[in-house]
C-alpha cells in the first residue's frame, strides 16, 4: 500500500504541521532519533495505483533488480540508493530495502473512526504468477491513544525456474499524544525468503523458448533468508506554559518551550545462504564443504538517543529551534569462522550532535551535525547535513507558486563490519578499510502549475575511499580516485483537458564508471487520459507508461552474499519497458488492470536490469484497494 508524503521531508512538530485529513483520518510518520513528525495522507490517490504492483519502482525511476516481486534490488539512480549509517550498518539489509519496513516507514494515525485498508494485487499465470496482499488497521481508544497494525505479504512464484520469493513483513505500533507527553512504540518484523537461481544459463534462450519457466538456470538448490525483528520506543516530555487563546478569551493553549526526548531501539537481524547441493563450476571455492552450504551472519544492535530541544516559535524571538543530543549504541556481530563455528564482536559506539532548524512558514531550513567519538574499531565518524526549502507566489490570480529546495552533506563513514570480516563456504575475506568520505550538494527549482508542473534540479557528489564489490564479488576500496557524480533531473507534467503527459528524466555522469557504473540517462514517461464520470464520483484513468535507461555495464548479482558487484562483459539497458493500464477510483475503492512489459510483443527480448536476470515477461496484472472508515 502506497502512502504519499508531503513536499518537505522533515517537520519538527505535529502541532505546527497542517495534516491532511481523509474521512476524519490524520496520518504521519516519524524519524527514528527524535520522533520528529512528517505529515502524510491515507492511501486515497486516484492515479498511479498500478505502480504499486512493482515495488522496486516505488521510490526510483530506474532500478537494478532480479525481475520478480520481492527479490533483491538497488536503485540505478545513485542518489536514491540506501545510505549507510556513518557508524556502519548490517550489510545484508541493503538489497532488501525496497520492501524493508524500517521505523521511518511506519505510519501513525489519529482517527475519529476506526480506519482500515485491504489491498491485493496479482499477476501472471497460476503456476508462476505473483500475489501481493497488504492490510492495515488503526483505531483510537480516545483522543490521545492510538493503536495500529500492518501486514505485507509477497508471494512471487517467478516466471523463471527457482526464482520464487516469499516475504512477510509487518508491525504493531501505538502512540500517545497530549500537550505534555508524546510516546511512540513499534514492534516490527521483516522476513524475506527467496530462491537463488543464479540467472538464466544462456541469454539467447530468452525469446527462443516458449515458456520462460523451461529456460535452464545456473542454480537449482540454493536459497537465501533474511530475518529482522526490532522494538522501538520514543518518549518526549514538553516543558512550557499556558497562553490565552487569541480567538477565545476563556480558553488557553499550551506552548511547549522545551522538549526532553529519549529513543531506544533494539534490532536482531540474520542473513542465511543455504544449498542442499552445490552446483559444480558456479563458485570458484568450496571452503568447508563440497556438498552443502549453510552460511550465517547476524547482527544485534541497541541504540539509545537522548535529546534536549528548544522549540521553534515558543516566543517571538525564537525564530528557529535548537537541539542537542547524545547517542550510545551497542553493536554485536556474529560471523562464521569455520563450519558451525562462530565468532562474536561487540563494540560500544558513542556520538554527540546538534541541530538548528526552522520548520514553520514558507521558508524552512535545517542543519544537523553528528560525530561518533567512538565509532567502529574506535574510528572517528561524522555527518553534517543541511536543507533549505522556500516557496513564494508568482501570481495570486492563477494560484501560481514557485519553490526552491536545496540539500547537502559532508560525512566520513565507517566501513560496514561485514565488508571487513566474512567467512562462508564460497567467500572468505579479511580487510582493513579506511573511512569513506562523501560530500554532496543538490538544488531544485520548480513551478507546480495545474497545466504544466515543471521542476529542474542539479547535483554534485564526491566520494573518496569508496567501497564496492569487485569483478570477483569481493569487497574492495578505491583509494586512488576521487569519484565525482554529476547529475541533473527534470520533471515536466503537462495537462490539457482530459489528456496528461508526465515525464521524469535523470542524467548521471560518473567519473569512474569502471568502479561506479551508472546509466547516463534514465527516464519515465506516462501518457494517459483522466476524467470523471457519474457526477464526479468515478475517476477514470487509461494510459501507457514507459521506463528507459541507456545501456551500461550494470552490476551483476552474487547469490552467495546477496550483493551486487562489478562486471564489464554485458551491457544492460536500451530497452523501453512499457505497460498499458486502466485505473478506476470510486470513493474508497480503487482498481487497476495492466498489461506488464508490453514491449515484449514487438521488440527483441532484451528486458534485463541485471545481467542474466530477465524481468518478468509480458503478463496481465490487476489489483484492488479498499479503505474502510468505520
Residue with cell 515525464: 503
Which grid cell is 167?
516475504
How many other C-beta atoms are found inside a 10 Å radius of the C-beta of residue 589? 12
Residue 9: predicted pLDDT: 31
Q: Give pLDDT < 70 ranges for the chain.
A: 1-23, 42-46
Residue 14: predicted pLDDT: 32
10 Å CB burial of residue 196 (0-12, 13-18, 19+) is buried
Helix (H) or strand (E) segment spanning residue 420: helix 417-420
φ/ψ (deg, to 5) at 112:
-75, -35
CB 546 within 8 Å of CB 576: yes
Hey, which residues does 546 pair with through a beta bridge?
525, 578
The alpha carbon of 504 is separated from its chain's Cα centroid by a whole number of angstroms, namely 19
Residue 247: predicted pLDDT: 80
Neighbouring C-alpha atoms within 13 Å toward the C-beta of 31: 11
The DSSP symbol for 427 reads: -
Hey, which residues does 406 pair with through a beta bridge?
388, 443
Cα–Cα distance measured from residue 158 to residue 561, given in angstroms and rounded to the nearest whole number: 21
Which grid cell is 314?
515558543
Residue 202: predicted pLDDT: 95
Residue 39: predicted pLDDT: 87
Residue 534: predicted pLDDT: 86
Pair type for strands 130-140 and 145-156: antiparallel
Pair type for strands 37-40 and 341-358: unpaired
CB 436 within 8 Å of CB 380: no
The overall longest dimension of the chain from CA atoms, in Å, is: 82
Q: pTM (2 decimals)? A: 0.92
Q: Could you give the dihedral angle defined by the CA atoms of residues 309, 314, 316 and 318, in that order, rounded to the nearest 10 degrees?
A: 0
φ/ψ (deg, to 5) at 180:
-115, -25
The DSSP symbol for 217 reads: B
Which grid cell is 574?
536500451
CB 325 within 8 Å of CB 308: yes
Residue 395: predicted pLDDT: 81
Task: Spell out a b/e string for 524-547, using b for 16 or more CB atoms within 10 Å of the CB, else e.
Answer: bbbebebeeeeeeeebbbebebeb
Q: Which residues contact 472 (CB under 8 A, 6 or more apart)?
A: 284, 565
Residue 7: predicted pLDDT: 26
Amino acid at each position: 500500500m502506497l502512502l504519499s508524503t508531503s513536499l518537505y521531508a522533515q517537520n519538527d512538530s505535529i502541532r505546527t504541521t497542517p495534516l491532511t485529513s481523509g474521512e476524519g483520518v490524520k496520518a504521519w510518520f516519524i524519524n527514528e532519533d527524535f520522533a520528529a513528525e512528517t505529515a502524510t495522507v491515507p492511501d486515497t490517490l486516484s492515479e498511479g495505483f498500478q505502480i504499486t504492483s512493482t515495488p522496486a519502482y516505488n521510490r526510483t525511476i530506474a532500478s537494478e533488480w532480479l525481475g520478480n516481486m520481492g527479490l533483491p534490488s538497488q536503485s540505478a539512480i545513485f542518489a536514491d540508493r540506501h545510505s549507510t549509517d556513518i557508524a556502519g550498518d548490517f550489510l545484508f539489509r541493503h538489497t532488501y530495502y525496497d520492501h524493508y519496513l524500517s521505523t521511518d516507514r511506519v505510519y501513525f494515525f489519529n482517527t475519529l473512526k476506526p480506519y482500515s485498508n485491504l489491498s491485493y494485487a496479482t499477476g501472471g499465470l497460476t503456476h508462476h504468477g505473483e500475489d501481493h496482499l497488504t492490510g492495515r488497521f488503526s483505531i483510537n481508544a480516545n483522543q490521545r491513544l492510538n493503536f495500529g497494525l500492518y501486514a505485507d505479504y509477497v508471494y512471487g512464484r517467478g516466471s523463471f525456474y527457482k526464482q520464487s520469493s516469499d516475504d512477510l513483513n509487518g508491525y504493531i505500533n501505538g502512540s500517545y499524544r497530549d500537550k505534555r507527553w508524546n510516546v511512540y512504540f513499534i514492534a516490527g518484523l521483516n522476513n524475506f525468503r527467496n530462491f537463488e537461481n543464479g540467472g538464466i544459463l544462456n541469454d539467447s534462450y530468452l525469446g527462443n523458448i516458449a515458456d520462460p519457466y523451461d529456460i535452464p538456470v545456473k542454480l537449482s538448490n540454493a536459497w537465501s533468508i533474511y530475518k529482522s525483528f526490532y522494538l522501538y520506543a520514543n518518549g518526549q516530555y514538553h516543558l512550557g506554559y499556558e497562553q490565552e487563546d487569541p480567538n477565545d478569551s476563556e480558553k488557553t493553549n499550551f506552548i511547549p518551550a522545551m522538549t526532553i526526548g529519549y529513543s531506544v531501539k533494539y534490532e536482531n537481524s540474520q542473513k542465511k545462504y543455504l544449498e542442499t547441493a552445490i552446483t559444480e563450476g558456479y563458485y570458484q571455492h568450496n571452503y568447508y564443504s563440497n556438498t552443502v552450504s549453510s552460511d550465517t551472519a547476524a547482527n544485534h544492535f541497541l541504540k539509545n538517543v537522548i535529546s534536549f530541544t528548544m522549540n521553534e516559535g515558543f516566543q517571538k524571538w525564537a525564530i528557529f529551534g535548537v537541539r542537542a543530543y547524545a547517542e550510545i549504541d551497542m553493536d554485536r556481530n556474529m560471523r562464521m569462522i569455520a563450519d558451525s563455528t562462530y565468532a562474536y564482536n561487540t563494540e560500544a559506539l558513542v556520538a554527540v550532535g546538534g541541530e538548528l532548524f526552522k520548520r514553520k512558514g514558507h521558508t524552512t531550513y535545517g542543519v544537523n551535525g553528528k560525530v561518533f567519538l567512538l565509532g567502529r574499531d574506535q574510528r572517528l565518524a561524522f555527518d553534517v547535513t543541511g536543507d533549505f526549502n522556500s516557496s513564494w507566489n508568482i501570481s495570486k490570480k492563477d494560484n501560481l507558486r514557485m519553490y526552491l529546495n536545496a540539500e547537502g552533506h559532508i560525512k566520513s563513514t565507517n566501513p560496514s563490519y561485514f565488508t571487513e570480516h566474512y567467512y562462508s563456504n564460497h567467500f572468505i575475506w579479511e580487510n582493513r578499510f579506511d573511512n569513506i568520505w562523501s560530500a554532496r550538494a543538490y538544488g531544485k527549482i520548480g513551478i507546480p502549475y495545474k497545466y504544466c508542473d515543471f521542476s529542474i534540479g542539479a547535483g554534485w557528489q564526491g566520494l573518496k575511499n569508496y567501497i564496492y564489490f569487485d569483478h570477483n564479488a569481493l569487497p574492495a576500496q578505491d583509494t586512488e580516485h576521487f569519484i565525482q557524480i554529476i547529475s541533473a533531473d527534470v520533471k515536466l507534467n503537462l495537462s490539457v483537458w482530459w489528456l496528461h503527459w508526465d515525464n521524469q528524466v535523470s542524467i548521471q555522469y560518473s567519473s569512474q564508471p569502471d568502479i561506479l557504473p551508472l546509466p547516463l540517462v534514465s527516464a519515465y514517461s506516462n501518457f494517459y487520459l483522466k476524467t470523471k464520470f457519474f457526477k464526479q464520483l468515478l475517476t477514470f484513468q487509461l494510459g501507457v507508461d514507459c521506463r528507459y535507461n541507456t545501456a551500461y555495464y550494470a552490476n551483476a548479482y552474487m547469490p552467495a552474499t546477496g550483493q551486487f558487484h562489478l562486471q564489464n562483459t554485458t551491457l544492460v539497458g536500451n530497452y523501453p519497458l512499457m505497460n498499458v493500464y486502466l485505473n478506476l477510483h470510486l470513493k474508497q475503492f480503487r482498481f487497476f488492470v495492466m498489461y506488464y512489459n508490453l514491449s515484449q510483443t514487438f521488440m527483441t527480448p532484451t528486458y534485463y536490469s541485471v545481467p542474466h536476470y530477465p524481468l518478468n515477461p509480458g503478463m496481465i496484472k490487476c489489483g484492488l484497494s479498499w479503505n474502510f472508515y468505520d
